[in-house]
Amino acid sequence: MADDLEEIRRKRLEQLQQQASGQQMGAGDMQAAIQQEQARAEMEAKKQAILRQILTPEARERLSTLKMSRKEMVEQLESQLIMLAQNGRLQSRIDDEKLKQLLMQIQPKKREPTIKRM
């Protein structure tokens, strides 16, 4: 009877140790996720600071409203603008009209539907 009780205690202790190590791993994963989120937020803040320097308020407003419907296109344009600014290839701030022209260049061409009658 004492051996059975000791066996049960040993198994329970092993289970508790496994759970504790699993929680520690979960805490490590949680810490890594928090660090990734902080790094992402920091990168986003730097990106927004650069965009504030190179875009006029009207152009920034246009990008933010367009981001709601065409997120991928706006992110692509933002990354291109940031690269140009970092390489020193932008001579002046981009106003709303210049931004419209850039958006027209990036926007995919629409195909005209063709109807063939048989």
pLDDT at 5 exceeding the cut of 90: no
**pLDDT of res. 24:** 63
**pLDDT of res. 111:** 79
**pLDDT of res. 74:** 92
Q: Per residue in 64-73, pLDDT tens?
A: 999 999 999 9
Range of the domain at 33: 1-39
Residue 19 covered by a domain:
yes
Helix, strand, or coil here: 105? Answer: helix
**pLDDT of res. 54:** 94
pTM across the whole model:
0.65
Q: Evaluate the CA torsion angle 99, 100, 105, 109 in order and state its sign.
A: positive
**pLDDT of res. 55:** 94
Largest CA distance in the chain: 92
Residue 34 covered by a domain:
yes
Q: Which two tokens stand for residue 78?
A: 């933002």
Quickly tell me which residue has 């066996």 as its tokens.
Answer: 7
Cβ of 53: how many Cβ atoms within 10 Å? 10
pLDDT at 1 exceeding the cut of 60: no
**pLDDT of res. 27:** 64
Averaged pLDDT for residues 54-75: 93
Q: Domain total for the chain?
A: 1
Residue 45 covered by a domain:
no
**Contact (Cβ atoms closer than 8 angstroms) between residue 94 and residue 54:** yes
Residue 97 covered by a domain:
no
The DSSP bridge partners found for residue 55 are 94
